Structure 1
Amino acid sequence: DSAGNPIGIVAISRDISDKEEIQQKYIEAKEKAEEADRLKTAFLANMSHEIRTPMNSIIGFSNLLTEEDLTPEDKAEFIRHINHGSETLLSLIDDIIDIAKIEAGQLMVTFEPYNLREMMDELYVTHAELLKRKGKDHVKLILEKDQLPGSDVVLTDPFRLKQVMTNLLVNAVKFTEKGSITYGYKVTGDFLNFYVKDTGIGISPEGLKVIFERFRQDNRYGIKHQGGTGLGLAISRHIVQLLGGDITVTSSPGEGALFSFIIPYNAYHETVKDKRKGRDSTFNMDWSAKTILVVEDVESHYNYIRSALMRTGINMLRVTSGQESVDICLNDHQIDIVLMDVNLPDMDGYTATGKIKAHKPEIPVIAQTAYNQPGEEERSRKAGCDAYISKPVKLKELLDALAGFLDNQT
C-alpha cells in the first residue's frame, strides 16, 4: 500500500528440470570431449616416440649392412634387429587400424575351427624368444593347458583370439623383471577361461580404473617407463566382447597382475588338418618349368617378390596395370599362375581377375592386397581369385600359396 506494507503476493513458477538435465548433459559432453582431446594429444605425442624407435633400428641397421667388412654373424644380427623393428612398426599400425575399426563399429570376428594346443605352443616359442631378446632369460615362462572334454579344436576366431593372448603376454613380459609368467586355459562350465599371470610391478588402484580405456595407461611410473600407446588392452576387451565373453584383471602394486577372460566353449569334433607346409626356404623348390605373371605397379614390392622367388628358378613376367594383365593372359599360353595386386592405376585387380577367368578359368590367380579389411578375402573369392595373401607379404605365406597350385600342376 502507500505505506509500503505488502497486501498480496503474486508468484510465477516454471519446471526447468528438462533444461537443467540438458545443461548437465552439455557439461558432461564438454568434459568428455576435452578429456578425449587431451588423451589424443598425449597419444599423438607418444606416437612419435613409438614410431621413431623401430624406424631407428630399421634405417640404422639397414645402413650398417652396406659396410664391406661385416662378418656373417654381424649380418645375421643386423637382420634380426631390422625384422624386429619392422614387426613392432607393423603391430603399431595394426593397433591404430583396429581402434579406428572399433570406433566405426567395423571390427568383426569370423569363427572357424582352431587348435588351442597348437596356438599355446606357438605363443610359448614366440614369447620365450621375446624374453631372451629383452635379456630376461631368468624370468620363467610357464604354460598350463587343461584337457578339453573332446578334442583341442574349438570354433573361434583364431586371429583375434591369438591377438588378445599376444597383447596380454607382451604386457607381462614388458612389466616383469623377475619371477615368472604363467598362462594357459581351462574349461569352466560352458566357457573357456584364458589367463596370463605375472610377478611384475603390478597395477595401481587408479590404473585399474583406466587401463581398458583407449589411450590410457597406468602412469604410476610415468608414461615413458615402458612405452606403448595405450591401445592394446582396449582392443583386447572389445575383441573378447565380440567373441561373447568378458575380460577382468586383479592386481596391486608390487604383487604382479592376473588378466583373465572367458569366451563360450564351442567344441569342434572334426579333425582339422594342418595346412602348414613348413617351407622356410626356397632351396628345395624347382619351378624352372613354370611361369608367373606378377601384376604390381610399385617397383619396390616387385623387387621384393623377384628377389624372394629368385632361387626357385621360376620364370617371371611383370606388368603394372590390370589391362596389361588381361591382355597377356589371353594372348600367352605359358602363364602358369598370376600374382595379382588389387590396387592398380587403371583397372583394379578384382576386375582384371574377372576378365581373365572369363576366358582362362584354368589359370590360378592369387590376390595380394594391403587393404586387409574384414571380408576382403571373401570379396577376392567372389571376384574369382583362387587364393588371397595380405601385405606385407611374408616369404613363407607366399611360397605356400604358390606351391598349393604349382606343385599340383602337370
Structure 2
Amino acid sequence: GHNLPFDPNLVTPPTSSWSYAEAVTSFCTYLDQRSLQPRFDFDAVAAVNDESAYAAITVLKSRGARVPDDIAVTGFDDLAMAGSVAPPLTTVRAPFHAMGRRAVEILLGRLHGEEYSEPFVLPAQLIVRHSCGCLLPTITEAAASVDEHIVSRGYERQGLAAALNEERSAIVMEMANAVGGSSLALQCAGQLLNGFIGEIEHGTGHAFLSALDAVLNQVATQRGRVKEWQRAISVMQRRIMPYLLHKKTQVQANNLWHQARVMVGEAAWRHQSWKRLRTEGHARDLRAIGTRLSTAQTLDDLLDILAIELPAFGVPCCYLSLYVDPLHPGESARLVFGYDEHGPLEIAPDQRVFPAKLLAPEKVWSRSERFSLLVEPLYHRMEQLGFVVFETGGIEGGRDGELWDALQMQISSALMAVQLHQEAVNARREAEAGWQLAEERQRAAEEANQLKSRFLSMVSHEMRTPLNVITGLSENLIQQRPADNNPALNSVYRDLERINISAQHLDNLIRDVLDLAVSHVGQLKLVLERLEILDVLCPVIEIGERMAAEKGLAWQLEIPDSLPRISYDRTRLRQVVLNLISNAVKFTDQGEVALCIQATTKVVTILVRDTGLGIPKEDQGLIFEEFRRTERASTRGYGGLGLGLAICRRLVELGGGRIGVESTGAEGGGSTFFFSLPALEESHEAAELAISKVYLLSNRESSQNLFNLLVQGGFEVKEIRIDTQADWLRPILDAPPGAVVLDIQDKNQQGWEVVNAFRSNPALQEVPILFCSLFDNRGAVIEMNYLDKPISANRLVRALEQQGLIPDHQARNILLVDDDQAILDLHTRLVEQRLPGCLTRRARNGREALDEMRRVKPDLVLLDLMMPEMNGFEVLEEMRKDEDLRSIPVIVMTSQKLSEHEMQQFNNGVAAVLEKGLFSAEETYAQLSTILGRSKHLGSEARRVARLAMAYIHEHYREPIARKD
C-alpha cells in the first residue's frame, strides 16, 4: 500500500443502512463530537458507498471545504448517480455480476461434492472522476501529444496494417480493457481497429465510422457504457499515432478520431435519452400496475390483475407462492399463481404445496426450459409472506434490479393490503355478528328490564298495599287508645303495636329489595336538603331506645351539643341509621347499644356500637355485599336477607361518604359500624324566605306569556329552565316557594320527575304544583296536589289544611275514588276520623266518580291516578270541561313506585289535558288565581290585592314605591 498510518479517531461509527440521510447525520455528529476540522485534521474521505460519499461532499461544502480542492472524496459501488453529481464521484466498480456468477458456480460445485480451500479474488475497477482531484481519464488520454510520438522507424514505405502487425493484438486488448475488458469489448475493439486501418490505407468510405456506429449500437443493446468508448478512441490515438509519419495521414486520422468522439458523445446522449424514456415508461407501467393492484380486495382479484399486467409488462414467466406457515418460511410454500410460455399453470390443489427450497412444484420445472430466473422475497416489514419467481429475459434491460425490486414491493404491498382487507372484512363480520348478538341481548335485557319493572310494580302494589293497610289500621287503632289504664286493653294494644312493628319490618324488607333493584339500574337517587342531624334523627333515637329496652339492653347516646348541618336525604339518613341500630340490637343478647355522633368542620361521623356477636376479620369486607351474611350469624340462627348493609353502603356512597366496621373478630367482642358524610360550611347570612314566591318551571322559550300573566296578577314570580339548568332543584330547596307552576312541553318524563322530586322531599311536600299551558290565547290548568298511597293520618291532615278543610264541625262532602277496596276503606276511616261530621262518598272507578260529582258536588276529591276503565287524568279532563266541576279541589293519589308505563301514562295524561286548551287566557288566569289563593302562603286576599295595587302603581307612576310605603 501507501504506508498510510491507521488512526481510529478518523473512522466514523456504522449506521443502520448507510443511506444519504443517515450518512449526513452521522458525519455531522462525528465531526462535532471529535471537533475535526476539514483541511486541518484530514485531507480525504473514503466512503463505504456512493451515497455516503455524496453525503460527505454535502457536509464538507456546508462547512466551507471545497471538493476536491481542499478534500478528496471517493465512494464505492459506482451507482448511476456517481457520474451525475458535482463534482463527479470517483468510485470503485465491483464485479457484482462476476461475483454472483462465481458464487453460483461454487454453490453448484459444493452440491456435487467439490471442495474449495483457496479464496477467490475478483479484481475491482477504479472509476476515476473529479472528486478525488483527478481529471476524467477520457480528458487526460485525449490530450496526448502527437509530435512527441512521431519517430522515423522505417515504416514510411510499409502499410499501416503491416506496421501494426506485431502490436495489433496488444492495441486491441488495451482498447478493450479501457471499456471493461469483456469479450464483447474485445470483439468490438477489433472491429474498430480493422475499420480504421482499412479507411487509412485504402480510403474505404466511412469504414471506421460505420464500424463505430455498429459497435455503439451493439453496446447500447447490451446495456454497456457507451461513453466509455471515448477512452478506447484515446487508446487507439495514442498507440497508432507514432506509426503515422505523413502529415496528410495524421490529419486524416485526427479527423476520424474527432468525428468518432462526436459520434460517441451523440450516441451516449441518445442512449441516455433512451434509458430515461425507458425508465419513464417502466415507471408509468409500474404505476399503472400499482394502481390496479391497489383496487384488489381479495387474493383472487390480485391474481387476476397479475395475470393481465405481468405478460403485458414483458414478463414471460412468473410463479408466485405464499408460505404455508409464515413463522416457519423454510418448510413449505403453496403456489397460488403461475404462468409460462405455454399459458396459465394447471396444477391440482393437492399438488400446489411444495418444499420452499424448490421455488416451485416439480411439475413447473418439467414443462419449462427457462432458467434465467430471478427470485424476489415477498414481505411486509418483518412479516414473511412468500416469494415470486420471474423470468427476466423478456424485458429489455432485464438486469435492472431496481425494476424487479419495485415490482416485488408492489406485489408485497398488494398482498398485505388484501390480507388486511380480508382481516377487516372478517372483523367487520364478527363485529356485525357481535352487534347483532348485542342487539339481541339488549332486546332480551330490555324485555327482562320491562318484566322486572312490572314485577317491581306488582311487588310495590300487590304486596305493600295490604301491608300498608295493616300498618294504617293498626296505627289508627293505637292512636285511639283510651287514657284509662285497662289491663285487658293494654294487652290488646301491645299486640297491635307488635303487629304494627312487624308490618313495618316486612315493609322495610320489601323496600330494601326494591332499593337494591333500583340501585342496579342506576336509578337510586337522593333528595338533598340542608339537614339538622339531631332533628332528623329524633324519631330514630326513640325507636332505637324502645327496641333496646324491649330486648333488655342498655341504650347509650353520645351526641355533642353542637353539630354542623349536612346536605343529604332526610328519609335515607333515617333509613341508614335505623338499619345499623336494628342490626346492633338483633345481634346483641346482653350489654348495650350506643349511638354516637362525632363531628369536625368537614366531616360528620355517625357510629353504632354494640357488645354483641362480633364480626370475624375475614368477613368484615364481605358483609356490605348483597345477600352476604357471616357464617357466625347463620349458624346461630339469626335471620335476614343480607340486603340492609348493601343498601346502606350504596346510599352513603351516593352522598359522597364512606361506611365501614370495626371489630376485634373475637366472638362476643362486639362491633362498631360507622359512616361519615361531608359537613356543610356554616354561613352567617340567613337564607331569604321565599314562601310568598311562585316558581315558574319550564322547558321551553314560550313561557313568557304565562310569566307576564302571573306578574300582572300580583304574584312574585321566578322562572327556572329545568331543561338547561341541571341543578334546578337547589334554589327551590334553599328557598321553598308558596307554589310551583309547571309549563312543560311535549310528553316527556320531566313532568313526573318534578312531581316526584317534590313528593320525595319533606321540605317541599306541602308546596302546591300546578301544570299549566297558555298559547294562542288558550290555556288549561291541572292542580297537582298529591299524596302517596296509602295516606298516613298526619299527611292527610296537612293536605286537608292546604285545601282549607279543618275539623270545624262544618258539614263537608268529600269524594274518595280508588279501585282498591281495602285502600278505599282505610282512607274513608282516616277522613272520617280527622274530619268528624263530614260526609264521605266512594267511587270504584272514574266513571262512577263523575256520576257522583254530577249528582252531588263535593267539596274535595281524593282521586287515584292509575285506575282501569277511566284513569285519573281522564277524570280531570272531564272535570275541566264541565263548568260546574272545574273548580272542585282535587288531591291525586299515586303509588310510591311508578312503573315506566305508569310514568308514561302520567306524562301523557298531563299533556292530553293541557294540549286541549280548554279555556281562554282570562279563564286560565282565573283558575290559577283561585288555586293559588287556597295556598296558606299565597291565599290572603288582602295580600293579593296589595300585590295588584303595587303592580298598578309601578306601572303608572315614575317614582318607585316599596311595601313599607
Q: TM-score range with shorter-chain normalisation?
A: 0.5 to 0.7
Give the residue type in structure 2 aligned to 1:320: R
Is it true that 1:185 corresponds to 2:597 in the alignment? Answer: yes
| Counterpart secondary structure, 1:316 | strand
Give the residue type in structure 1 aligned to 2:583: N
Give the residue type in structure 2 aligned to 1:193: T
| Counterpart secondary structure, 2:559 | strand
Q: Which residue of 2 aligns with 1:170?
A: 582
| Match among 858, 863, 869 for residue 335 of structure 1 | 858
Residues 109 and 157 in structure 1, CA contact (< 8 A), matched pair in contact too: yes
Q: Which residue of 2 aligns with 1:101?
A: 518
Give the residue type in structure 2 aligned to 1:322: G
Give the residue type in structure 1 aligned to 2:626: R
Q: Which residue of 1 aligns with 2:488?
A: 71
Is it true that 1:262 corresponds to 2:786 in the alignment? Answer: no
Counterpart CA distance in 2 for 1:186 and 1:358 is 59
Q: How many residues align?
A: 322
Residues 549 and 555 in structure 2, CA contact (< 8 A), matched pair in contact too: no
Q: Which residue of 1 aligns with 2:305?
A: none
Q: Which residue of 2 aligns with 1:321?
A: 845
| Counterpart secondary structure, 1:372 | coil
Give the residue type in structure 2 aligned to 1:363: I
Q: Which residue of 2 aligns with 1:365?
A: 890
Counterparts of 1:242-257 in structure 2, within 5 Å, are 242-252=654-664, 253=666, 254-257=668-671
Residues 215 and 231 in structure 1, CA contact (< 8 A), matched pair in contact too: yes
Q: Which residue of 2 aligns with 1:300?
A: 822
- TM normalised by structure 2 equals 0.30
Counterpart CA distance in 2 for 1:196 and 1:222 is 22
Counterpart CA distance in 2 for 1:202 and 1:78 is 32
Deviation at 1:367, TM superposition (A): 2.6
Deviation at 1:78, TM superposition (A): 2.3
* 1:175-209 Cα distance to aligned partner (Å, 9 max, x none): 12233222233333422222212222211112212
Q: Does the C-alpha gap of structure 1 residues 278 and 317 become closer, same or farther in structure 2, counting only changes over 3 Å? A: closer
Deviation at 1:374, TM superposition (A): 10
Residues 146 and 187 in structure 1, CA contact (< 8 A), matched pair in contact too: no
Counterpart CA distance in 1 for 2:327 and 2:513 is 56
Structure 1 unmatched runs, 5+: 1-9, 14-50, 385-402
Counterparts of 1:149-228 in structure 2, within 5 Å, are 149=564, 152=565, 154-222=566-634, 225-228=637-640
Counterpart CA distance in 2 for 1:192 and 1:404 is 37
Counterparts of 1:19-30 in structure 2, within 5 Å, are none
Residues 533 and 563 in structure 2, CA contact (< 8 A), matched pair in contact too: no
Counterpart CA distance in 2 for 1:215 and 1:89 is 17
Q: Does the C-alpha gap of structure 1 residues 357 and 85 become closer, same or farther in structure 2, counting only changes over 3 Å? A: farther
Give the residue type in structure 1 aligned to 2:875: A
Counterpart CA distance in 1 for 2:326 and 2:796 is 91
Give the residue type in structure 2 aligned to 1:127: G
| Counterpart secondary structure, 1:261 | strand
Counterpart CA distance in 1 for 2:617 and 2:898 is 37
Counterpart CA distance in 1 for 2:864 and 2:897 is 13
Counterpart CA distance in 1 for 2:557 and 2:612 is 15
| Counterpart secondary structure, 1:71 | helix
Indicate the structure whose relative CO is greater, using CA pairs within 8 Å and at least 6 residues apart. Answer: 1
| Counterpart secondary structure, 2:621 | helix
Give the residue type in structure 1 aligned to 2:647: I
More divergent stretch after superposition (169-178 vs 349-358): 349-358
Q: Does the C-alpha gap of structure 1 residues 12 and 237 become closer, same or farther in structure 2, counting only changes over 3 Å? A: same
* 1:191-237 Cα distance to aligned partner (Å, 9 max, x none): 22222122222111122121000000112142562211100000000
Counterpart CA distance in 2 for 1:362 and 1:287 is 23
Q: Does the C-alpha gap of structure 1 residues 342 and 278 become closer, same or farther in structure 2, counting only changes over 3 Å? A: closer
Deviation at 1:293, TM superposition (A): 1.0
Counterpart CA distance in 2 for 1:128 and 1:404 is 39
Q: Which residue of 2 aligns with 1:148?
A: 563
Counterpart CA distance in 2 for 1:181 and 1:216 is 23
Q: Does the C-alpha gap of structure 1 residues 158 and 362 become closer, same or farther in structure 2, counting only changes over 3 Å? A: farther
Deviation at 1:303, TM superposition (A): 1.6
Counterpart CA distance in 2 for 1:369 and 1:281 is 14
Counterpart CA distance in 2 for 1:167 and 1:404 is 37
Residues 818 and 864 in structure 2, CA contact (< 8 A), matched pair in contact too: yes
Deviation at 1:139, TM superposition (A): 1.8
Q: Which residue of 1 aligns with 2:229?
A: none
Counterpart CA distance in 1 for 2:556 and 2:563 is 22
Structure 2 unmatched runs, 5+: 1-324, 329-462, 478-486, 690-734, 737-761, 767-791, 798-805, 912-933, 941-965
Counterparts of 1:344-383 in structure 2, within 5 Å, are 344-353=867-876, 355-356=878-879, 360=885, 362-373=887-898, 383=910
Over the aligned positions, Cα root-mean-square deviation in angstroms equals 4.1
Q: Does the C-alpha gap of structure 1 residues 374 and 255 become closer, same or farther in structure 2, counting only changes over 3 Å? A: farther
| Counterpart secondary structure, 2:620 | helix
Q: Which residue of 1 aligns with 2:554?
A: 139
Is it true that 1:310 corresponds to 2:832 in the alignment? Answer: yes
* 1:147-201 Cα distance to aligned partner (Å, 9 max, x none): 135xx5x432111111111111111111122332222333334222222122222
Q: Which residue of 2 aligns with 1:89?
A: 506
* 1:122-161 Cα distance to aligned partner (Å, 9 max, x none): 211111111233x32x422324145135xx5x43211111
Counterpart CA distance in 2 for 1:148 and 1:196 is 17
Deviation at 1:114, TM superposition (A): 2.9
* 1:27-53 Cα distance to aligned partner (Å, 9 max, x none): xxxxxxxxxxxxxxxxxxxxxxxx9xx
Q: Does the C-alpha gap of structure 1 residues 347 and 213 become closer, same or farther in structure 2, counting only changes over 3 Å? A: same
Q: Which residue of 1 aligns with 2:55?
A: none
Q: Which residue of 2 aligns with 1:115?
A: 532
Q: Does the C-alpha gap of structure 1 residues 243 and 332 become closer, same or farther in structure 2, counting only changes over 3 Å? A: farther
- TM normalised by structure 1 equals 0.67
Residues 108 and 374 in structure 1, CA contact (< 8 A), matched pair in contact too: no
Counterpart CA distance in 2 for 1:305 and 1:103 is 34
Counterpart CA distance in 2 for 1:280 and 1:159 is 15
Deviation at 1:85, TM superposition (A): 1.9
Counterpart CA distance in 2 for 1:374 and 1:266 is 35
Give the residue type in structure 2 aligned to 1:131: A
Counterpart CA distance in 1 for 2:840 and 2:642 is 44
Deviation at 1:295, TM superposition (A): 0.6
Q: Does the C-alpha gap of structure 1 residues 158 and 169 become closer, same or farther in structure 2, counting only changes over 3 Å? A: same
Residues 529 and 570 in structure 2, CA contact (< 8 A), matched pair in contact too: yes
Counterpart CA distance in 1 for 2:643 and 2:595 is 21
Q: Which residue of 2 aligns with 1:397?
A: none
Counterpart CA distance in 2 for 1:143 and 1:338 is 48
Counterpart CA distance in 1 for 2:587 and 2:852 is 56
Please tell me whether Structure 1 or Structure 2 has the larger radius of gyration of its CA atoms: 2
